[in-house]
């Protein structure tokens, strides 16, 4: 059964990387036979309880925003997201991100997030948002390294009473002559504005990862169950 | 499928399990049955029934109903005195836990005695205590609901069928007084020595069997009764509008604090001889003075009365935390009671801002808000519009005759009332709300500039109207700057900014501070301020190296400067100190800013300040302006360090001026005065330590041999640079 799953996964998008002992493969969600693993993993690691409906809602509607990290055929990390129009922005949302304890600190979470954010960017999202516990320093570092800011603080957001930050990443917009940011006479090159077209050559190996993420990748819940009910 | 769930007239029950299974087998991989109206909300609200993680009613242990618990003897009416003390203590712990945002059903009403207070009538002490507890909780709940600032804290005011009020609760004081008298007499009796005195018929019965312990238990019971009573009085007196009961409340706060001390001292006596019980979970042990688990509590008995959300397991506060909670609450309430009822609007805003720095809890903030805005009036007395007219100093003739000024005042009153209310919410929510009301302040500014009726121009009234317009606009401008400043500074307190954002935040904050200063200085020197450009003041400050270049104002009235001006100057110099220090450290490679693959600093600047760009005042500032102002490529790193040093030095000077002017500011409340004194010390430390850090980095050459980090160890908004060898 495990073997079969690995072979099926190979048929999807993948890229591998060698990270010390054992190879981590990243695959895109293919079908609901992967769902039990995803649910089991998230259920085990996160404090917020989700019903199967929640998983189906996200993964059925946005399968290309769900990735799995496999180690020797076993699912050791996963990410679940969505993207949709919210008022006048097209916004990506990271609902759940989990990596099992033994595989943390290796950049797995960063890789999963990076892949999703890339898909969101390519699909035309204006921004990406999610929540993380204020105590989850690993997650905060991870997202901070990718360009997210801590936009808001949410008092006692989670069931356990912990505060959360709402994190937001704003993608660069195409230059607009009406924008406040362009003032006559400014030479953009002199401020070393990052060339965003370079984003599409992104591949699995993220050089920023290893310097700062050691020991930091944690599983963490995002959408707070309590707030969905109120 | 029978009597347990009866079918209707035309219906029967059928087992559909096998039908559903075969239908499921017909579905291929990935096929779903999807209802059209089944969306995100439905998906996430769905609970899997009988899954204990989601279904609060599914916990299989414990009593299922209150009746079952009572029948099993879980809450005996006859209690020994030690047991009674434990019950009292645990109730207090439950109250503290409840006020911290946990469900009533799992806290206060986990007490079986409170679920049916009438039942406790045979036990006079228990009965009086319970009735007073219920009455007190009811008052607290009402106050919080009325203040309406609790949403984000998940304070649930709905009772869900719990018996939160009882008939005759208002007579609880009489009951308390009676039992207090009895115990007090008993105490006197046992203190009076043994049987050398003739026993009179009125001698009370001893509370418990061991004469040696009698005095101790009398004390323990008595201080708890008195604390309960004092708390009840505080609630009643603070509820009186317009601050009429504040003085009496303060007296009872003193009593409550003193009894709290007595309660604290009783712990040694009560826990004596208690061997630590390793079987009982430490969290349960912890919520009474004796360390024993109190009888008569069951968290699960109300599980069906909880909201339809997945169950939260909560831990009741420990005894230590309970005492600490009430102590802090009483002190926070005392500060409210000390608020002079003569304060003007600006001093009130300052008071609220300073009060919040002490991190008061929800009930205290609710009480404050109710006091400030009772009946929609400021301090329950003046309608806000009237209070504002006093602040605006509008000539009577204009107020009476100019329709637009009247309309403006009404609008300003609405927006100010909203601001006051927001200032009482918890800081996380406060910041978000402040961001949202900026729009209203922007609109208000527009409204203040509305062109007037041509026919009055040139007349004396016309001149007054124009002057009024300038004053109103200046007032809105100053207030808006105040709101924006609070919005930006709260970001530090909430830890929203990462190190790579500090420079831009201080830069923008400095801009806002200088705008605020512009309007304040103009008001101080009693001239109508130039509405259009605070930039003239700012540009001087930016280009000049060395000390902050703010022009000295004209002779202010009676020679004293408002302390608030000096405070703004301190903040501004601190900001500048950080801007140059951060710029220099970055260029010097002692601070590394990583490039992020998905966006740049420009996007983050936009995210932080876009909200402010919708305002006219303070003037919107662009990212390019920021880069331009801070690049300063023609200045060397060492010169930048010096520039930063000079600004931190200038702070010292302003702090002295601040101290002097604060001493003369008679209108300051005690809370603001204390807060200001504290902040002066904090800023001194920030200034000093950063200068030391600058001296270190100034000596060393460029490169990676030193690393600099920033810690908010002194002041919540201004950090101290810490230099380490890397």
- Segment B42-79, tens digit of pLDDT: 888 887 788 777 777 776 677 778 888 888 888 999 99
CA B585 to chain centre: 36
Task: Give the model's pLDDT for residue B221.
Answer: 93
Residue B277: which pLDDT band, with cuts at 50, 70 and 90?
A: low
Interface test with A, best of B50, B54, B586, B603 (most A CBs within 10 A): B603
Q: Taking all residues of chain B, what is their mean pLDDT, rounded to a whole number?
A: 85
Q: Helix %, strand %, coil % for chain B, to 5?
A: 65, 0, 35
Q: Taking all residues of chain A, what is their mean pLDDT, rounded to a whole number?
A: 74
Task: Give the model's pLDDT for residue A122.
Answer: 96
Tell me: pLDDT of A204 over 80. Answer: no
- Distance, in Å, from the CA atom of B218 to the CA atom of B223, rounded to the nearest integer, reads 9
- Distance, in Å, from the CA atom of B125 to the CA atom of A223, rounded to the nearest integer, reads 47
Q: Which residues of B touch A134 (CB under 8 A)?
A: 495
CA B225 to chain centre: 29
Q: Which residues of A touch B432 (CB under 8 A)?
A: 152
Q: Which residues does B599 contact at the CB level (< 8 Å), separation at least 6?
A: A147, A169, A170, A171, A172, A194, A196
Say yes or no: B497 contacts chain A, CB-CB below 8 A.
Answer: yes
Residue A22: which pLDDT band, with cuts at 50, 70 and 90?
A: confident
Nearest alpha carbon to residue B223 among B191, B193, B257 = B257
Q: Looking at A161-170, B339-348, B393-402, B626-635, which range is the least confident one?
A: B393-402
- Distance, in Å, from the CA atom of B383 to the CA atom of B366, rounded to the nearest integer, reads 20
Q: Which residues of B touch A224 (CB under 8 A)?
A: none
CB B237 within 8 A of CB B246: yes
Q: A99: domain CATH number?
A: 3.40.630.30
Pairwise CB contact (< 8 Å): A170 & B48 = no
pLDDT tens string B456-466: 555 666 677 77
CB B87 within 8 A of CB B79: yes
- Distance, in Å, from the CA atom of B226 to the CA atom of B218, rounded to the nearest integer, reads 12
Nearest alpha carbon to residue B611 among B491, B448, B515 = B491
Task: Give the model's pLDDT for residue A12.
Answer: 33
Interface test with A, best of B597, B604, B704 (most A CBs within 10 A): B597
Q: Helix %, strand %, coil % for chain A, to 5?
A: 35, 25, 35
Three-state DSSP state, B196: coil
- Distance, in Å, from the CA atom of A47 to the CA atom of A221, rounded to the nearest integer, reads 7
Residue A59 sits at the vertex; the CA angle it makes with A58 and A63, to the nearest 5 degrees, is 125
Task: Give the model's pLDDT for residue A84.
Answer: 94
Say yes or no: B664 contacts chain A, CB-CB below 8 A.
Answer: no
pLDDT tens string A61-101: 999 999 999 999 899 999 999 999 988 999 999 999 999 99
Three-state DSSP state, B270: helix
The whole-number average pLDDT for the span B697-707 is 78
Say yes or no: B596 contacts chain A, CB-CB below 8 A.
Answer: yes
- Distance, in Å, from the CA atom of B596 to the CA atom of B592, rounded to the nearest integer, reads 12
Tell me: pLDDT of A190 over 80. Answer: no
Q: Which residues does B459 contact at the CB level (< 8 Å), separation at least 6?
A: none
- Distance, in Å, from the CA atom of B529 to the CA atom of B617, rounded to the nearest integer, reads 13
Task: Give the model's pLDDT for residue B548.
Answer: 36
Task: Give the model's pLDDT for residue A4.
Answer: 23
Residue A15 sits at the vertex; the CA angle it makes with A11 and A20, to the nearest 5 degrees, is 130
Task: Give the model's pLDDT for residue A227.
Answer: 53
Tell me: pLDDT of A3 over 70. Answer: no
Between A155, A194, A208, which is nearest B600 by CB? A194
Residue B468: which pLDDT band, with cuts at 50, 70 and 90?
A: confident
Residue B432: CA count within 13 A, CB half-sphere: 13
The H-or-E segment that residue A167 falls in is strand A164-170
Pairwise CB contact (< 8 Å): B45 & A32 = no
Residue pairs between chains A and B whose CB atoms are closer than 8 Å = 152
Pairwise CB contact (< 8 Å): B598 & A33 = no
- Distance, in Å, from the CA atom of B693 to the CA atom of B108, rounded to the nearest integer, reads 52
Token output for A121: 């960017």
Residue B404: which pLDDT band, with cuts at 50, 70 and 90?
A: confident
Q: Which residues of A touch B31 (CB under 8 A)?
A: none
Distance from CA of B298 to the nearest CA of A (A): 20
SS3 letters for A73-112?
A: CEEEEEEEEEEEEECCEEEEEEEEEEECHHHCCCCHHHHH
Tell me: pLDDT of B198 over 80. Answer: no
Between B53, B597, B623, which is nearest A181 by CB? B623
- Strand ranges, E, within B576-667: none
Token output for B673: 């005065």
Nearest alpha carbon to residue A163 among A136, A126, A201 = A136
Between B38, B497, B595, which is nearest A194 by CB? B595
Distance from CA of A174 to the nearest CA of B (A): 12
Between A53, A153, A183, which is nearest B428 by CB? A153
Residue B269: which pLDDT band, with cuts at 50, 70 and 90?
A: confident
Reported ipTM:
0.85
Q: Looking at A36-50, B131-145, B622-636, which range is the least confident one?
A: A36-50
Tell me: pLDDT of A32 over 80. Answer: yes
Task: Give the model's pLDDT for residue A21.
Answer: 58
* Token pair 């892949």 in the structure block, residue: A115
Task: Give the model's pLDDT for residue B452.
Answer: 57
CB A86 within 8 A of CB A116: no
Token output for A193: 């504005």
Tell me: pLDDT of B566 over 70. Answer: yes
Pairwise CB contact (< 8 Å): A225 & B625 = no
Task: Give the model's pLDDT for residue B279.
Answer: 46
Task: Give the model's pLDDT for residue A187.
Answer: 38
Task: Give the model's pLDDT for residue B193.
Answer: 56
Q: In chain B, which residue's Cα lies nearest the Cα of A225? A: B44
Between A134, A172, A183, which is nearest B624 by CB? A183
Residue A200: which pLDDT band, with cuts at 50, 70 and 90?
A: very low
Domain count for chain A, please give it.
Answer: 1
- Distance, in Å, from the CA atom of A140 to the CA atom of B716, rounded to the nearest integer, reads 20
Interface test with A, best of B29, B41, B44 (most A CBs within 10 A): B44
Pairwise CB contact (< 8 Å): B47 & A60 = no
Token output for A16: 């591998």
pLDDT tens string B640-672: 999 999 999 999 999 999 988 888 888 788 899
Tell me: pLDDT of B152 over 80. Answer: no
Say yes or no: B42 contacts chain A, CB-CB below 8 A.
Answer: yes
Nearest alpha carbon to residue A160 among B311, B363, B73 = B311
- Distance, in Å, from the CA atom of B697 to the CA atom of B701, rounded to the nearest integer, reads 8
Task: Give the model's pLDDT for residue B494.
Answer: 96
- Distance, in Å, from the CA atom of B668 to the CA atom of B351, rounded to the nearest integer, reads 8
CA B248 to chain centre: 25
- Distance, in Å, from the CA atom of B232 to the CA atom of B126, rounded to the nearest integer, reads 16
DSSP B554: S
Tell me: pLDDT of A198 over 60. Answer: no
Which residues span the domain enclosing A72? Answer: 2-227
Nearest alpha carbon to residue A49 among B315, B430, B483, B55 = B55
Packing angle of the helix pair B637-664, B670-699 (nearest 10 deg): 160
Q: List all residues of chain A from 157 to 216 with a beta carbon under 8 Å from chain B.
A: 159-161, 163, 165, 168-172, 180-183, 186, 191, 193-194, 196, 199, 202, 206, 208, 212
Q: List all residues of chain A from 127 to 146 with a beta carbon under 8 Å from chain B.
A: 134, 144-146
Between A156, A169, A202, which is nearest B101 by CB? A156
Task: Give the model's pLDDT for residue B558.
Answer: 40
Pairwise CB contact (< 8 Å): A149 & B496 = yes
CA distances, B394 to each of A173, B305, B398 (Å):
47, 56, 7
**b or e along B30-39 (b: 16 or more beta carbons within 10 Å of the residue's beta carbon)?**
eeeeeeeeee
CB B303 within 8 A of CB B57: yes
Which of B265-274, B544-553, B591-600 reaches the highest mean pLDDT?
Answer: B591-600
What one-character-per-residue DSSP string does A126-157 give?
SEEEEEEETT-HHHHHHHHHHT-EEEEEETT-
Say yes or no: B496 contacts chain A, CB-CB below 8 A.
Answer: yes
Q: List all residues of chain A from 83 to 122 with a beta carbon under 8 Å from chain B.
A: 114, 117, 121
Distance from CA of A112 to the nearest CA of B (A): 14
Tell me: pLDDT of B433 over 60. Answer: yes
The whole-number average pLDDT for the span B459-487 is 84
* Token pair 């949202």 in the structure block, residue: B436
Task: Give the model's pLDDT for residue B292.
Answer: 87
Say yes or no: A10 contacts chain B, CB-CB below 8 A.
Answer: no
pLDDT tens string B210-257: 878 888 889 999 999 999 999 999 999 999 988 899 999 999 999 999
CA B134 to chain centre: 25
Break chain B into its structural domains and give their ranges: 66-191+207-271+287-334, 339-495, 497-527+556-671
Backbone angles phi, psi at B400, to 5 degrees: -75, -35
Q: Which residues of B touch A150 (CB under 8 A)?
A: 495-498
Residue A202: which pLDDT band, with cuts at 50, 70 and 90?
A: very low
End-to-end CA distance of chain B: 74
Task: Give the model's pLDDT for residue B300.
Answer: 80
Residue B203: which pLDDT band, with cuts at 50, 70 and 90?
A: low
Task: Give the model's pLDDT for residue B528.
Answer: 45
Q: Which residues of B touch A145 (CB under 8 A)?
A: 594, 596
Q: Which residues of B touch A54 (CB under 8 A)?
A: 43-44, 46
Radius of gyration of chain A (CA): 18
Q: Looking at A181-190, B152-161, B567-576, B706-715, which range is the least confident one?
A: A181-190
Nearest alpha carbon to residue B719 among B440, B452, B568, B505 = B505
Task: Give the model's pLDDT for residue B253.
Answer: 97
Say yes or no: A226 contacts chain B, CB-CB below 8 A.
Answer: yes
Radius of gyration of chain B (CA): 32
Residue with more model confidence, A133 or B29: A133
């Amino acid at each position: 059964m495990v073997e079969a799953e690995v072979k099926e996964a190979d048929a999807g998008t993948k890229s591998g990387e060698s990270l010390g002992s054992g190879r981590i493969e990243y695959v895109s969600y293919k079908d609901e036979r992967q769902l039990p693993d995803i649910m089991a993993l998230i259920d085990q690691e996160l404090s917020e309880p989700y019903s199967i409906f929640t998983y189906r809602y996200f993964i059925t509607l946005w399968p290309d925003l769900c990735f799995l990290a496999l180690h020797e055929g076993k699912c050791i990390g996963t990410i679940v997201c969505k993207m949709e129009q919210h008022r006048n922005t097209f916004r990506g949302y990271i609902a759940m991100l989990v990596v099992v304890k033994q595989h943390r600190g290796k950049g797995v979470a960063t890789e999963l997030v990076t892949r999703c954010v890339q898909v969101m960017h390519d699909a035309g999202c204006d921004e990406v948002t999610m929540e993380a516990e204020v105590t989850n320093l690993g997650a905060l570092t991870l997202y901070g390294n990718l360009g997210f800011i801590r936009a808001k603080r949410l008092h006692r957001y989670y069931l356990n009473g912990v505060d959360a930050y709402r994190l937001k990443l704003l993608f660069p917009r195409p230059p607009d002559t009406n924008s406040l940011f362009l003032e006559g006479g400014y030479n953009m090159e002199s401020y070393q504005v990052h060339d965003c077209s370079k984003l599409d050559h992104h591949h699995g190996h993220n050089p920023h990862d290893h310097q700062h993420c050691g020991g930091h990748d944690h599983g963490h819940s995002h959408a707070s169950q309590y707030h969905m009910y109120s | 499928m029978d009597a347990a769930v009866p079918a209707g007239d035309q219906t029967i029950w059928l087992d559909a399990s096998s039908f559903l299974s075969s239908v499921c087998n017909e579905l291929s991989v990935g096929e779903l049955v999807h209802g059209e109206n089944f969306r995100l909300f439905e998906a996430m609200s769905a609970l899997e029934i009988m899954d204990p993680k989601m279904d609060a009613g599914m916990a299989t242990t414990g009593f299922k109903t209150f009746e079952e618990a009572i029948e099993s003897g879980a809450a005996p009416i006859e209690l020994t005195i030690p047991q009674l003390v434990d019950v009292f203590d645990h109730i207090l712990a439950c109250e503290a836990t409840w006020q911290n945002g946990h469900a009533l059903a799992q806290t206060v009403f986990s007490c079986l005695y409170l679920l049916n207070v009438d039942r406790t009538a045979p036990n006079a002490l228990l009965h009086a205590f319970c009735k007073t507890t219920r009455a007190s909780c009811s008052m607290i709940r009402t106050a919080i609901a009325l203040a309406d600032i609790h949403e984000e804290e998940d304070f649930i005011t709905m009772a869900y069928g719990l018996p939160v009020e009882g008939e005759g609760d208002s007579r609880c004081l009489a009951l308390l007084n009676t039992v207090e008298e009895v115990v007090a007499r008993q105490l006197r009796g046992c203190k009076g020595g043994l049987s050398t005195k003739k026993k009179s018929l009125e001698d009370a019965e001893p509370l418990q069997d061991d004469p040696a312990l009698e005095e101790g238990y009398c004390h323990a019971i008595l201080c708890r009764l008195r604390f309960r009573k004092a708390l009840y009085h505080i609630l009643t007196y603070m509820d009186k509008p317009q601050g009429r009961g504040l003085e009496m409340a303060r007296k009872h706060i003193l009593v409550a604090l003193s009894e709290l001390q007595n309660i604290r001292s009783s712990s040694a006596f009560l826990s004596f001889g208690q061997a630590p019980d390793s079987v009982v979970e430490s969290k349960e042990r912890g919520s009474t003075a004796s360390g024993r688990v109190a009888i008569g509590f069951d968290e699960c008995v109300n599980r069906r009365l909880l909201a339809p959300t997945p169950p939260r397991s909560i831990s009741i506060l420990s005894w230590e935390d309970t005492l600490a909670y009430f102590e802090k609450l009483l002190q926070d309430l005392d500060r409210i009671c000390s608020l002079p009822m003569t304060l003007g609007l600006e001093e009130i805003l300052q008071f609220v801002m300073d009060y919040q720095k002490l991190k008061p809890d929800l009930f205290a903030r609710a009480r404050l808000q109710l006091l400030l805005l009772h009946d929609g009036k400021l301090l329950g007395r003046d309608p806000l519009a009237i209070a504002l007219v006093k602040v605006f100093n509008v000539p009577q003739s204009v107020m009476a005759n100019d329709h637009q000024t009247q309309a403006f005042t009404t609008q300003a009153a609405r927006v100010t009332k909203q601001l006051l209310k927001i200032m009482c919410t918890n800081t996380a929510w406060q910041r978000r709300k402040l961001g949202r009301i900026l729009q209203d302040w922007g609109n208000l500014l527009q409204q203040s500039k509305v062109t007037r009726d041509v026919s009055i121009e040139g007349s004396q009234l016309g001149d007054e109207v124009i002057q009024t317009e300038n004053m109103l606009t200046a007032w809105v401008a100053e207030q808006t700057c105040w709101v924006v400043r609070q919005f930006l500074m709260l970001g530090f307190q909430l830890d929203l900014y990462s190190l790579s954002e500090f420079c831009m935040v201080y830069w923008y904050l400095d801009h806002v501070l200088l705008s605020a200063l512009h309007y304040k200085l103009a008001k101080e020197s009693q001239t109508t301020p130039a509405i259009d450009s605070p930039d003239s003041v700012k540009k001087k400050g930016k280009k000049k190296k060395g000390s902050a270049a703010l022009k000295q104002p004209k002779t202010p009235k009676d020679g004293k400067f408002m302390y608030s001006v000096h405070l703004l100057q301190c903040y501004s110099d601190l900001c500048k100190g950080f801007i140059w220090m951060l710029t220099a450290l970055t260029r010097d490679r002692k601070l590394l800013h990583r490039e992020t693959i998905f966006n740049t600093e420009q996007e983050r600047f936009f995210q932080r300040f876009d909200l402010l760009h919708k305002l006219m005042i303070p003037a919107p500032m662009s990212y390019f302006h920021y880069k331009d102002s801070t690049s300063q490529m023609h200045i060397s790193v060492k010169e930048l360090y010096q520039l930063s040093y000079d600004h931190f030095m200038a702070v010292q000077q302003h702090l002295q001026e601040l101290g002097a002017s604060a001493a003369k500011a008679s209108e300051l409340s005690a809370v603001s005065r204390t807060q200001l004194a504290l902040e002066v010390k904090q800023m001194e430390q920030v200034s000093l330590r950063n200068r030391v850090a600058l001296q270190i980095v100034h000596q060393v050459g460029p490169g990676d041999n030193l690393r600099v980090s920033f810690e908010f160890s002194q002041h919540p908004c201004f950090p101290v640079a810490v230099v380490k060898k890397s």
